Amino acid sequence: MLNWYRALRAGSMEEICREEIKVPVRMLWGEGDTFLSLALAKDSMKMCKDGELTIVGEATHWVQHEQASIVNRLIRILLQKEL
């Protein structure tokens, strides 16, 4: 994600990524994020061949700290699918 933030400073989403992202991408987004808009997350998913966006309620920009049990459960589910 750090590189994603750096890339945003470079310009529009189209300038950041000109090719479809082929690796699976799973993004967890806090419903109450006041730093970044949900539109950014949705635009990011459009660039992914296999992208999945999960909106976590009662969380802000710091989803992994505020809703750790939900994040851990979602990661476990994803890992079980991959095995």
**4-30 per-position pLDDT tens digit:** 666 666 666 666 667 888 999 999 999
Span 59-80, average pLDDT = 95
Span 75-79, average pLDDT = 92
Q: In whole angstroms, what separates CA 41 from the centre of its chain?
A: 6
Greatest distance between any 2 Cα atoms in the chain:
38
Q: What pLDDT is stored for residue 12 in this prediction? A: 60
Q: What pLDDT is stored for residue 18 in this prediction? A: 73
Given a cut of 90, whether residue 31 has pLDDT beyond it is yes
pTM, 2 dp: 0.77
